[in-house]
Chain A
Amino acid sequence: MDRFLFLTLDGLSRGAVYAAFALSLVLIWRAARIVNFAQGAMAVAAVYVAYSVSTSTGSYWLGFLAAIAAGLLLGTVVDLAVMRFVDHRSPLNPVIVALGLVLLIQAVLGMIYGNEFRPAEPPFSRSARTVGGLAVGSPYDLFVVATVAAVVVALAWTFTRTAIGLRMRASAFAPEVSRLLGVKVGGMLTLGWALASGVGALAGMLIIPTELGLHPHAMDLVFVSAFTAAVVGGLDSPPGAVVGGLLVGLLLSYVSGYAGSDLTPLAVLALLLAVLLVRPAGLFAPVTARQV
């Protein structure tokens, strides 16, 4: 029972990060109809910026802020300098370009920082605490869950309650009509990329200290898990991404706890396959009427 509780808490903490990362994929999908396969590499680049800032200033938090800023900036640059020039008529084009970006970013990171693991220290202890004999997770777990929750609430509020959020949603749903109503659709698209990449950078900052360390490929497996989470949620649905992220986090935690951590990549792919076979539009897609 203790073990189950421990695995559940661990799963929720990992799941929160997957949720954030899945959310960043959903943000870009909704704004630009692109699955950004470069999101993981972009997040790693932002975490390297944090690494540089933290090593030179000695402050984790300055590095944390630098990572978010780098994420926002990188998203802006990728949209304005790369994706804007990609022919979107075939959905494959942006995918290939994104994969090219992955290679480019990882190669550049390797040239600057080298292809070795660098230590990434969490700002809080990662050893689990108990209160009155009940496991409550580690201080770092609490930090992760609270940070992701704050980001989710802030994004939801921005999108549903502010003028800029309304503009962003309108641009995503109906770009031509939005333009006629005076919305600068291109700017909204760039803002979507910046926000998504900022959230991706945050997810990278949160999860890399719980893994082997910082490396140009550090987010590769996380990307697969988060992509699965986004697909489970339906790619189009921000709440779906959050629930999908938590589900994937729990699944991986149980599989690694009860069956061995070697099996987790397999479990993610099995889940992805199952969702694509049974509910290809995701768990949160409206059930369409079926003709008999």
Chain B
Amino acid sequence: MTGGDLLTVRGLVAGYGAGPVLHEIDLTVARGTIAAVVGANGAGKTTLLRALSGTLRPVAGQVVLAGEDLRGTPVEQLVRRGVAHVPEGRGVIGELTVDENLRLGGLWRRDRADARRALDEVYQLFEPLARRRRQHGHQLSGGERQMLALGRALVGRPRLLLLDEPSLGLAPRVVAQTMALLRHLRDSTGLTVLLVEQNVRSALSVADQGVVMSLGRVVHTAPAARLRDDDDLRHAYLGF
């Protein structure tokens, strides 16, 4: 099945108790595309990802993945539905080795042979990780942690990759490499990516679709290229 929307979000409301942070979010992400959610700090970007992956239980609304409603799916079942969520700060487990972190990403899979294949592919994709297999997560540099977090998500062969601030704390060169990698994965494997970013330029440079959030609402959705060139919109919501 190609084409069409992989992820459809309708009327999503979520928050942390004292009133909602997200108000009636509507969003679609087409299969095999990269969508970038951008907006100022506090716009609700991280909350959106958490509500999508179920780490934060939505108050109302629908999250539909390839026709299946994800509501009520326990977080640990999400990978089995094909959703990989790389959390903010990336969630590398420092006490485990690189190899253990990566294997953990594929432990849920029944197809052990393919899980091993996926692991080998990740080692080929991220050569530095192969050299540091036996080192612990906390010994890695920021860029290597990024590779490890992405690699660990890819070992599960996800349909949808949710990325929270992949550029956070990384050198511009590493950010550019990450974005290039996402583009490569989209083109070679048909991976669908939803990333939230404060680094608007990098995010829109790689994305097909741009979603602008402000104060917990989606205020604008447009092809990323048009968003990049729309000065008024940039000034109004993105501050540059």
Chain A interface (Cβ within 8 Å of chain B)? 163, 166-167, 169-170, 173-174, 176-185
B103 at the interface (CB under 8 A from A): yes
Closest to A163 in B: B107
The reply to whether B91 and A177 form a contact with Cβ atoms under 8 Å apart is: yes
Whole-angstrom distance between the Cβ of A276 and the nearest chain B Cβ: 24
| Given A170-B96, A173-B96: A179 and B76 interface contact (C-beta under 8 Å) | yes
8 A Cβ contacts from B84-104 to A: 84-85, 87, 91, 93-96, 100, 103-104
Closest approach, in angstroms, between the C-beta of A47 and any C-beta of chain B?
35
CB pair B95 A181 closer than 8 Å: no
| Mask: chain B, 102-113; 1 = CB below 8 Å from A; 0 = not | 011101100000
Tell me the nearest residue of chain B to A185, going by C-beta: B76
B124 within 8 A of A: no
Q: Give the 9 A-B CB pairs with smallest separation, nearest first.
A: A182-B108, A177-B91, A182-B79, A179-B75, A173-B95, A174-B93, A179-B76, A180-B85, A173-B93
> Chain A residues near B80 (CB, 8 Å)?
182
Check if B96 sits within 8 Å of A181, measured CB to CB: no
Contact of A182 with B91 in the complex, beta carbons under 8 Å = no
- Set A169, A173, A180: member contacting B79, Cβ < 8 A: A180
Residue from the set A174, A183, A185 with the largest chain B CB neighbour count within 10 Å? A174
Give the CA-CA distance A292 to B104 in the complex, in Å: 40
Task: Determine whether B30 belongs to the interface, using a CB cutoff of 8 Å to chain A.
Answer: no
Classify the interface of chain B: helix, strand, loop or mixed: mixed
* Interchain nearest-CB distance for A215 vs B (Å): 40
Given A166-B103, A166-B107, A178-B104; A184-B93 close (CB under 8 Å): no
A181 touching B103 in the complex, CB below 8 Å, given contacts A170-B93, A173-B96? no
Shortest CB-to-CB span from B148 to chain A, Å, is 12
Chain B interface residues toward A at CB < 8 A: 53, 55, 75-80, 84-85, 87, 91, 93-96, 100, 103-105, 107-108, 152, 156
Contact in complex: B108, A181 (CB < 8 Å): yes
| Cross-interface CB contact of A169 among B77, B85, B96, cutoff 8 Å | B96
Which residues of chain A come closer than 8 Å to B107, judged between CB atoms? Answer: 163, 166-167, 181-183
Q: B226 CB to closest chain A CB, in angstroms?
A: 33
A-B contacts, 18 of them at CB < 8 A, read: A166-B104, A169-B95, A169-B100, A170-B96, A173-B94, A176-B91, A177-B91, A178-B93, A180-B87, A180-B91, A181-B104, A181-B156, A182-B77, A182-B78, A182-B79, A182-B108, A182-B156, A184-B76
How far, in whole Å, are A178 and B96 apart by their CA atoms in the complex?
12
What secondary structure prevails in chain A residues at the interface with B? helix
What's the least CB distance linking B119 to chain A, in Å? Answer: 13
For A178, list chain B residues within 8 Å (CB).
Answer: 93, 104
Complex Cα distance, B105 from A166, in Å, reads: 11
Q: A163-B107, A176-B87, A178-B104 are in contact. List 10 more A-B contacts (CB 8 A).
A: A166-B96, A167-B107, A170-B100, A170-B104, A179-B75, A180-B53, A181-B107, A182-B80, A182-B107, A183-B76
Q: Once the chains are docked, how many angstroms separate the CA of A182 from the CA of B81?
A: 10
A167 CA to B104 CA, complexed, in Å: 7
CB neighbours of A182 from chain B (8 A): 76-80, 107-108, 156
B95 CB contacts on chain A under 8 angstroms = 169, 173
The answer to whether A177 and B79 have CB atoms under 8 Å apart is no
Q: How far is the CA of A163 from the CA of B115 in the complex (A)?
A: 13
B79 to chain A, nearest CB (A): 4
CB distance from A157 to the nearest CB of B (A): 15
- Tell me the smallest distance from the CB of B139 to a CB of chain A, in Å: 13
* CB-defined contacts of B100 to chain A, threshold 8 Å: 166, 169-170
Are B105's CB and A181's CB within 8 A?
A: yes
Q: How far is the CA of A180 from the CA of B101 in the complex (A)?
A: 13
Considering residues A177, A178, A181, A184, which has the most beta carbons from chain B within 10 angstroms of its beta carbon?
A181
- Nearest-CB residue, chain A, relative to B83: A180
Residue of A nearest to B75 (CB): A179
Q: Kindly list chain A residues whose C-beta atoms are within 8 Å of the C-beta of B156.
A: 181-182
Docked CA distance A174–B55 (Å): 14
Q: In the assembled complex, which residues on chain B have CB atoms less than 8 Å from the CB atom of A170?
A: 93, 96, 100, 104
Contact between A181 and B55, CB atoms less than 8 A apart: no
The residue of chain B having its C-beta at the shortest distance from the C-beta of A184 within the complex is B76
Q: Which of A176, A177, A178 has the most CB atoms of chain B within a 10 A radius of its CB?
A: A177
Contact check, A180 vs B96: say whether CB atoms are below 8 A apart. Answer: no
Known: A170-B93, A170-B96, A173-B93. A180 touches B104 (CB 8 A): no
Q: Is the CB of A183 within 8 A of B53?
A: no
Task: Give bound CA distance, A173 to B77, whole Å.
Answer: 20
Give which listed residue, A176, A183, A184, contacts B55 with CB less than 8 A: A176
* CB within 8 Å for A183 and B104 given contacts A169-B96, A174-B91, A177-B91: yes
